[in-house]
Structure 1
């Protein structure tokens, strides 16, 4: 009898361990089409859908931790969260801790964007001194030397959508945006009023990374991300929000 109870307890504990949620970190600076927040919690968006599908296919519940951007890496290092998506190793040159990176899942260009204007392209280094719309806490390697030299000035907003709203309202002549956010924002505008990309500042591949912890199903997570990418599921999710070719 005692052996039977012990076996049942072991099965119960194993089941509980298998059901431990996969904890995703979500920077509060994200905006649609990446993530939509309602009452401070993510409810939809490209990255939300990818993370939710990932957890479902791994076979565990998804848990989302919304944090200020400056707290994200600290939360990973202290084991408060398990997975961070939409990140590049070049963004984290001094990353401490033991992590395993996924394959590249997305390629996102940083674009210099303007309101409709006659010019078709712009050389940032040739711009006269002025404010450029940027996201608070984001790094823009191509523009950093110009910011450091005080040739261009940052005009920070809390998230990418606010940056584009300020540009559309005429607060700035130029702003920086990723392609997804620009496409999403332009969907609400008539063609003649849509914001335009006038320069590609940089382009890099981004993916997810996972804490290398025995309590985290690291290899299942990484294999699942490979399947989601190779099957076209991730690209289908992107098309759901911004249409066209990802």
Structure 2
């Protein structure tokens, strides 16, 4: 049986181990608008801290705009970036196993007929995020649509609510948050584009390998902690 003294010694040993290793540099995408940095999500902060703890390291958050996150990994200025797939963010990096569920949807305004399929969006103006790729949607539509970009998903939602366009392409969890706040108009419609599990991109110049991260993810999963973290999305 683990005594309070033994538990304290284990915590102390972990702290000493973390102090001996360089911190885990967890890259987070942030949106800088008019000089104001939008806060990152609780999910990303919590996942970064949990991975660092499993790896016996402290965590250091590297907060960058979207157009600099892959360069940070390729240059060795960060160790890991989560919630992406190689086809969304191509680069000279390694990838962990897939474990973060993401669902992308099209939300239609109440003033238009709800599309039954993605193909019915051909030629339509779609609210999207600047610099973000939509490969699953493009498999169906090609380039036969008009992009109306915003710097972030949150601002894209605002533009849609303001009537700037009728069709909004966003992750499902973004809409769920709006729904919980009662911010969505009556009569809106949701069409799922795809559901997938995303991964973490790992710098090839990092001291921590993709296999190390996979082991940490597995440990969090077995402990039941990963399920709690994923609920924060």
TM-score normalised by L of structure 1 = 0.73
Name 1:84's counterpart in structure 2.
81
Q: 1:83 to 1:119 in 2, by over 3 A?
A: same
Query: For 1:203, which of 195, 199, 204 is the aligned residue?
Result: 195
Name 1:107's counterpart in structure 2.
101
Q: Confirm whether residue 153 of structure 1 aligns to residue 146 of structure 2.
A: yes
Root-mean-square deviation over aligned CA pairs: 3.0
With 121-130 and 227-236 compared, the bigger mean Cα shift is at: 121-130
Q: Post-superposition shift, 1:92?
A: 4.1
Q: Contact (CA 8 Å) 1:186, 1:194: kept in 2 or not?
A: no
Name 1:188's counterpart in structure 2.
181
Name 2:127's counterpart in structure 1.
133
Q: Post-superposition shift, 1:164?
A: 1.2
Q: Post-superposition shift, 1:117?
A: 6.0
Q: Post-superposition shift, 1:195?
A: 4.8
Q: Post-superposition shift, 1:22?
A: 0.6
Q: Contact (CA 8 Å) 2:30, 2:39: kept in 1 or not?
A: no
> What do the CA deviations read for 1:71-116 (whole angstroms, capped 9, x no partner)?
11111111010111111123245x325x2x2221122121111234
Q: Post-superposition shift, 1:139?
A: 0.8
Query: For 1:223, which of 215, 222, 229 is the aligned residue?
Result: 215
Q: Post-superposition shift, 1:156?
A: 0.4
Q: Post-superposition shift, 1:29?
A: 4.1
Q: Confirm whether residue 96 of structure 1 aligns to residue 92 of structure 2.
A: yes
**Unaligned segments of structure 1, at least 5 residues:** 1-13, 31-38
Q: Post-superposition shift, 1:134?
A: 0.2
Q: 1:220 to 1:189 in 2, by over 3 A?
A: same
Q: Post-superposition shift, 1:63?
A: 0.9
Q: Confirm whether residue 176 of structure 1 aligns to residue 169 of structure 2.
A: yes
Q: Contact (CA 8 Å) 1:105, 1:229: kept in 2 or not?
A: no
TM-score normalised by L of structure 2 = 0.77
Q: Post-superposition shift, 1:54?
A: 1.4
**Unaligned segments of structure 2, at least 5 residues:** 1-15
Q: Contact (CA 8 Å) 1:41, 1:66: kept in 2 or not?
A: no
Q: Confirm whether residue 66 of structure 1 aligns to residue 63 of structure 2.
A: yes
Q: Post-superposition shift, 1:147?
A: 6.4
Q: Post-superposition shift, 1:237?
A: 2.4
Q: Confirm whether residue 123 of structure 1 aligns to residue 117 of structure 2.
A: yes
With 123-132 and 20-29 compared, the bigger mean Cα shift is at: 123-132
Q: Confirm whether residue 20 of structure 1 aligns to residue 9 of structure 2.
A: no
> What do the CA deviations read for 1:156-195 (whole angstroms, capped 9, x no partner)?
0111111112112222111101111111121111676485
Q: Contact (CA 8 Å) 1:161, 1:185: kept in 2 or not?
A: no
Q: Contact (CA 8 Å) 1:132, 1:175: kept in 2 or not?
A: yes
Residue-pair matches, total: 214
